[in-house]
Amino acid sequence: MAKIDFGGVVEEVVTLEEFPLEKAKKVLADETVAVLGYGVQGPAQALNMKDNGISVIVGQREGGERWEKAIQDGFLPGETLFSLEEAAEQATIIQYLISDAGQMAAWPRIKPCLKEGDALYFSHGFSIVYKDQTGVVPPENIDVILVAPKGSGRSVRLNFLDGSGINASYAVFQDFTGRAEERTLAIGMAVGSGYLFPTTFKNEVRSDLTGERGVLMGCLAGVFEAQYNVLRKNGHSPSEAFNETVEELTQSLIRLVAENGMDWMYANCSTTAQRGALDWKGRFRDAVTPVFEELYHSVVSGEETRIVLEANSAPDYSERLRKELDEIKNSEMWRAGAAVRGLRPENR
């Protein structure tokens, strides 16, 4: 492992220098990896492993849209594409990548398919950490491992194709074979990780649920709406409000942050922007800290898990979700966004 200084705290990470792809392929040479679920993470991880020369099969409900997507991506029914149970029975490493609520529902059918010495792989610690709610309790004679890419499935695939990779955390929950960590690192590199950093199932799910509800999605969308609404209330046009709230961030400033950090972004903006940002960032931090504390407590307590499982298991969930997303799509702010995106040179 490589020792890296993360802001004064030294952590160990695994890069392709310590665990090259050729080593991963040797570790996985006699393994068959079944990707159960072809929704968000499944396609990217399956295709990346396939492109890296790993023996991969897919398990998915026959006849649905995602079954057809797997066929379009080159998986063949009866050869590399099977039902969930058939794929699990054939594999030695079972990637359990269906939705969290789906994992709970399918577990009674998947558990009997697991053989001694198999590895059960997750990209999220949800089902294992909140086993009292999900009922997902693995048998003792298998490895239980995790690789959690820090990005959407789309980003996992695109980063792999452009050669950059995507950072991922990894963890071992149960080591029956004595090879669990080696298998985890090999799979982590095979699915296209830029580097791997160690975590635990508990820490992964707590940070992930907090991040999704916080800065990455929930907080971001809420802050966008707040600033846009204030600008519109004070007479600014939809175009001006959207550009100052979203477009400049996503098309300019966040790229500067990604390149060299927040201080570098500040240094490459006007002195007026620098001064104002430095003066106001503390007030925003102090204002939202109590919300993040409440959010983290809700994650740790299992309340967020309860909400997810209850909502996602409802028969009309897809219909209700579509209505919620349509409310966002059809709001003035995001209709303005569609118009702004349409004016970008590459879209004209």
* Residues tagged active-site: 124
Whether 124 and 62 have beta carbons less than 8 Å apart is answered as no
DSSP 261-300: -HHHHHHTS-HHHHHHHHHHHHHHHHHHHHHHHHHHHHHH
* Cα torsion angle, 105, 110, 116, 119, sign: negative
Distance of alpha carbon 307 from alpha carbon 315, whole angstroms: 15
CA distances from 64 to 39, 69, 101 (A): 11, 9, 18
Q: Phi-psi region for residue 93, left (φ > 0), alpha (ψ -120 to 50) or beta?
A: beta
Q: Parallel, antiparallel, or unpaired: how do β-strands 81-82 and 119-122 relate?
A: unpaired
- Amino acid at the residue 263: D
Q: The tokens of 90 are what?
A: 């054939």
Distance of alpha carbon 274 from alpha carbon 289, whole angstroms: 23
Whether 108 and 136 have beta carbons less than 8 Å apart is answered as no
